[in-house]
Structure 1
Amino acid sequence: MSAERAFLAQNDFSNASSERMITERDLKILWISRTLTNIDFQYGEEILNLDRSDLEIEQKNYIKAQLLLKYRERRAPYQELLESLRGQQLH
């Protein structure tokens, strides 16, 4: 058997099972995960910028609390959707 045939036999993608294929649900999970990562990163940047600011501690604490509320509010629908999709994946 030639090296080319051996390679093709080992890597026969035409017979790949559906378990190894990326599904539409997998792509949705990846997209939502990326969106959550972006939200997390943006929140982290906002907190770092606030910590570096010259505002008084009381003002910083108030703004941090508001940022945390906004962060949780933005993140919640994506987190719920992600959990729903992952739950469907198990069934």
Structure 2
Amino acid sequence: MSDVTADPAPGAAEPPAPDPAVPRPLGVARTPTGDAEVDRTLARLADADHLPAEGHVEVYEDVHGGLREALSALDVRPAPPGPPR
């Protein structure tokens, strides 16, 4: 194999470098949990993809609060009936 790279064609423009000031999606995949409320809350994370870094805190705090509420709701739900005695 050769370490030599081919020169671009004359007059070919190089792709523009990404602008560091423009937010870029993180591309983090979210696997559905099966709980509609939790899935809606986690879907909010996609909003951070379109915000500058300083805007992420609000999104993360919102998602964290929603997940805490979902976990707290588990404590107040009645337990399923057990087997008859």
Alignment TM-score, normalising by the size of structure 1? 0.40
Choose between structure 1 and 2 for higher RCO, CA contacts under 8 A separated by at least 6 residues: 1
